[in-house]
Amino acid sequence: MSILVKRVKEMLTKAGFKGFIFVQTLFGELDEIETVQDTKPGYGEGSLVVVKAVKK
């Protein structure tokens, strides 16, 4: 788990969130992307990560 994702997850957990889902997009050099890219589950490859979590 990347250090930034780990830290965000820790902070959200402390705030009472659970059920984390991570999705990533923007693959490759940002100035070379010319089309809309699909998302992939997880994190670690894309430049943008979105996290969904539910409050307990």
Query: pLDDT tens digits, residue range 8-47?
Result: 999 999 999 999 999 999 998 888 999 999 999 999 998 8
On whether the CB atoms of residues 45 and 24 are closer than 8 A, the answer is: yes
**pLDDT at residue number 23:** 96
d(CA 33, CA 26): 8
Residues 6+ apart with CB under 8 A from 41: 21, 22, 23, 24
Q: What gap in Å lies between CA 42 and CA 24, rounded to an integer? A: 6
Q: pTM score, two decimals?
A: 0.80
